[in-house]
Amino acid sequence: MQAGHAAEAVRLFRRAVALRPGWAEGWWFIGTTSFDAGKFTVAKDAFQHFVSVEHKQPGPGFGMLGLCEFQLHHYKLSLNALERGRVLGLGQNWDFTQTVLYHAGILYTFFGEPAVGLQRLTLVANRLAAAPRVLVLHEPTRGVDVGARAQIHETIRQVARDGTAVVLATTDIEEVVAVSDRVLVLREGQIVCELSGRELTEDLVLSWAAEGGDVGDRRIS
């Protein structure tokens, strides 16, 4: 959904939930659309309303609430909500469940409970072991602080060491250089360069992303 259409849809749903405050689906739409747009405070408010009115299956709402709190750097609140969602049940969407367990694992480790954190991450790893061994991550450290960022990077490296292929999409050049063995640089939606080994530096990635670089034999045609 385009940004303008999404904003208009949220406005319409806000009018609807003002008339029907107990409409859980409306709060869910507002929350997920706002989350995808990076409006985490708005999304948090919507999911708080969702879990207050959804009595049959509130677990996914607590999971999303926890992800909002994570993005807002409210890590203790995030962990509490993520765990409550896990206990209540996160639904049938495995990608969503994996995201919740992944963030809970990171936070348990961050708060000095690595054994519990490992349990959560093992649940993710066990599922990955039974599936195609490719993990796709998009902006995995967006909005987190330095401590959580370092823990996430180490988890990515460990997953790769364990044999899972990791595909990382990020605009954070420092991050991509820190955790990657091979980098494809995109500019205006096109792959313009492949870098690895000693060529994989922040300066070269930035040069190719911004200007197209200056070494012709690295270009991908």
**pLDDT digits over 148-196, tens only?**
778 788 878 877 877 778 888 888 889 989 889 899 998 888 888 899 8
- How many whole angstroms separate alpha carbon 31 and alpha carbon 26? 9
Other Cβ atoms within 10 Å of 140 Cβ, number = 23
How buried is 88 (Cβ within 10 angstroms: 0-12 exposed, 13-18 middle, 19+ buried)? middle
What is the rounded distance in angstroms from the CA atom of residue 139 to the CA atom of residue 168? 8
For 1-159, strand residue ranges (E) read 134-138
Q: Looking at the DSSP assignment, which residues form a beta bridge with residue 137?
A: 168
116-160 pLDDT per residue, tens: 887 777 777 666 666 546 778 888 887 767 777 787 888 788 778
* Residue 193 dihedral angles phi and psi, to the nearest 5°: -165, 150
Q: Structure pTM?
A: 0.61
Query: Nearest-5° angle of CA 45, CA 153, CA 184?
Result: 100
The fourth-level CATH superfamily of domain 1-131 is Tetratricopeptide repeat domain (1.25.40.10)
- The candidate with the shortest Cα–Cα distance to 100, out of 109, 112, 90, is 90
Mean pLDDT to the nearest integer, 37-61: 95
Domain residue spans in the chain?
1-131
* φ, ψ at 6 (rounded to 5°): -65, -45
The answer to whether 81 and 69 are in contact (CB under 8 A) is yes
Q: What is the largest CA-CA distance in the chain?
A: 62
pLDDT band at 216 (very low <50, low <70, confident <90, very high): very low
